[in-house]
Structure 1
Amino acid sequence: MVLPIVVGVDGSEPSLRAVDWAADEAALRGAPLRLVYASLWERYEGGSLAEDLNKPSEQVTAEDIVRTAAQRARMRRPDIAVSTDVLPEEPEYALVREGRNACALVLGTRGRSGFVEMLLGSVSLTVAAHADCPVIVLRGSHDNQVPAGARGRIVVGVGEQATDSAALRFAVQEAKLRHATLDAVRAWRCPAHETTDHPLLAGEPARLHEQHAVEVLDKALKDAPAAVDLHRRTVEGPARRVLLDASHEADLLVVGARRNPGHLGLQLGRVAHAVLHHSACAVAVVPEQA
């Protein structure tokens, strides 16, 4: 049984762009597409739902929202199976639960302008932090269009514990499906206390840290399939900055997020949290077991 790709829809153009992305992804995977509207979403979004649909608020119904989304998905990809559901509950709980039986969750962001556009909504952040499946949050383009594979590049951040990484497996699969180049990036830094003023030793600590980054990357990628156009990169600097810089040349940025069973708070590390808020392209947060 092929698990569906689930999209959270709310009637806004960002959520319809998420439908476009998810429809393309479903076609690539041969998976069904499931469109879900949590009917308490307007508690977070207010009157903007009606504004985006150009209707008075009293005329905007859940059926309007899922019907419009389904029509858009079928027009974009007539060959995929599309189903819809309206769930009378809080959106973050509904979507996290939907993720238990999905191969991926896809969400849009509702940036309006200026500073607000840079930040991620609470629903998307909560879902990315708790879902059991990969969560793809669309960022970057705000022209209501989703260019499929515009750059032909996927970037994956490789962490210290990269062996058997779910994020890396997901990135490899995406690169294969899209016939895209995969950039595996490992950031490294030389702690300030390890530097020295001696001219013959000044570069030694940095060289050792860079070499360790190369070894981590090689170990993580030792079983990568030859069919993938794989590029390995070690870059000096904080992982957040390195990955955000890389996002400007990518269609998708993939990062892992370690899950700690029994922990109730947001289960996102600093890197995942930063790229969700500020990436220039779509971000996939893939759960890793602690």
Structure 2
Amino acid sequence: MLLPIVAGMDGSPESLAAADWAAREALHRGLPLRLVHAWEVTPPADDEQPALPELHVPQYWARRVLRTGLDRLTERYPQVRITAEQVPRPPVPALIGAAQSAEMLVLGNQGLGPVSAAFAGSVAGAVVGQVRQPVVLVRAGWTPAEEQLPTTDGDLAARRPVVLALDVRHDCTELLGFAFESARERSAPLTILYAWHLTEGPGAGRSRRLDLAQLEADWTLAAVVEPYREKYPTVEVRTEAVHDRPAHALGQASQEAALLIVGRRLRHPRVGSHLVRVAHWAIHHVHCPVAVVAHE
């Protein structure tokens, strides 16, 4: 049984862009798409009549959001099997529940703009931190055209790369598998970035230590990636081990990316999940879609 890609919808421009991205990804991967809209059911007070029309307004708008999204995506992507569902629960538990039977979850990303700063992470951040499946966050206005690099004459040329931020000190299995699959399905090149930083201060022999650390980083990254090169021979791969702060390195690499993939470490259940600093930074500052992949 094929698991669907699930897209959360609330009628916002961000969620519309996320649903559109999810439909394209479902098309790439040959998977069904499930649209989910969560709305909280407020029971009427004792002195209210359940039949009052205004009590049905939230449900009406929820249905309209889903119907509009379903009609729009069905017309654009007739090859994709799309379903839509209202979930009468608060958004965070509804989306977490929907993700449990999904290949991935796709949500709108408000980032840290002047208007949305107060709301950033209220739903998406809570969901990302508790879902084991990959979660992709998409900003408003992201279109298929932005997945290709513009040429000097304005025409669209090569596909933008998928960029994977890797920390070779931890298990990379889930991240590498997701990244290679994503690149292969969209016929895009894959850039794998490992940002390392030498914490020792200046002193005698620092240049030599930097050279040795660079050689070790290059070798380690190549060794980790090599089995996946063999498994995915059609994917064009470029590896970069750079002496830099992760956020700065990702900021540079993501400017030309079609998709940025970052990791989120899982902790013991009684401690909870852990949204690492790099993933948190990417969610709030990167323009392209960001995929957060949980790993041990």
Q: Shared topology, TM-score over 0.5?
A: yes
Whole-Å Cα distance in 2 between the matches of residues 212 and 205 of structure 1?
Answer: 10
- Whether 2:208 is the aligned partner of 1:204: answer yes
Amino acid at match of 1:279: V
Structure 1 contact 14–110 (Cα < 8 Å) conserved: yes
1:232 match: 239
Amino acid at match of 2:192: A
Aligned mate of 1:253, from 230, 247, 260: 260
User: Which residue among 143, 158, 167 is the counterpart of 1:159?
Assistant: 167
Counterpart of 2:50 in structure 1 is: none
Partner of 1:219: 223
TM-score w.r.t. structure 1 length?
0.85
Secondary structure at the residue paired with 1:190? coil
Alignment of 1:182 with 2:190, yes or no, is yes
| Conserved 8 A contact 1:118-1:278 | no
Q: Which amino acid aligns with 2:107?
A: L
**CA displacement at 1:114 relative to structure 2:** 3.0
Q: CA deviation at 1:244?
A: 2.0
CA distance in 1, matches of 2:142, 2:124: 18
Residues 56-67 of structure 1 aligned to structure 2 (within 5 Å): 61-67=61-67
Q: Rg larger in 1 or in 2?
A: 2
Q: Which residue of 2 aligns with 1:191?
A: 199
Query: Do residues 143 (structure 1) and 147 (structure 2) align?
Result: no
Task: For residues 113-165 of structure 1, give each alpha carbon's deviation from its aligned partner in whole angstroms, at most 9, with x where no partner exists.
Answer: 536369833111111111121000013xx436443632421000111335552
Contact 2:39 2:58 in 1 (8 A): no
Measured in 1, the distance between the counterparts of 2:69 and 2:271 equals: 32
Aligned to 2:11: 11
Question: Is 1:30 aligned to 2:38, yes or no?
Answer: no
How do residues 268-283 of structure 1 correspond to structure 2 at under 5 angstroms? 268-283=275-290
Which residue matches 1:46?
none
* Count of aligned residue pairs for this structure pair: 269
- Contact preservation (8 Å) 1:9, 1:15: yes
The yes-or-no answer on 1:172 pairing with 2:176 is no
Kept in 1, the 8 Å contact 2:111–2:284? The answer is no
Separation of aligned partners in 1, 2:173 and 2:270: 21
TM-score (norm 2): 0.84
Q: 2: distance between equivalents of 1:18 and 1:263?
A: 32
Deviations 1:51-71 (A, max 9, x none): xxxxxx879521101101111
Q: 1:119 to 1:183 in 2, by over 3 A?
A: farther
2: distance between equivalents of 1:118 and 1:169? 35
Asked if structure 1 preserves the Cα contact closer than 8 Å seen for 2:261 and 2:292, the reply is: yes
Contact 1:171 1:182 (C-alpha < 8 Å) held by counterparts: yes
AA matched with 2:193 = V
Contact 1:156/1:185 (<8 A) preserved: yes
- Asked if the contact 2:34/2:83 (under 8 Å) is kept, the reply is yes
Residue 261 of structure 1 and its aligned partner are, at CA, apart by 3.1
Residue identity matched to 2:4: P
Deviations 1:93-121 (A, max 9, x none): 11111111100100012469536369833
CA contact (8 A) 1:120 1:276 kept: no
Is 1:288 the counterpart of 2:279? The answer is no
Q: How far apart are 1:216 and its partner, in Å?
A: 2.3
Structure 2 runs not aligned, ≥5 long? 42-56, 150-158
CA distance in 2 between counterparts of 1:162 and 1:216 reads 12
2:58 & 2:171 partners in 1: Cα distance? 53
Aligned-CA RMSD value: 2.4
Contact 1:13/1:144 (8 A) holds in 2: no
Is the contact between residue 96 and residue 132 of structure 1 (CA under 8 Å) also seen in structure 2? Answer: no
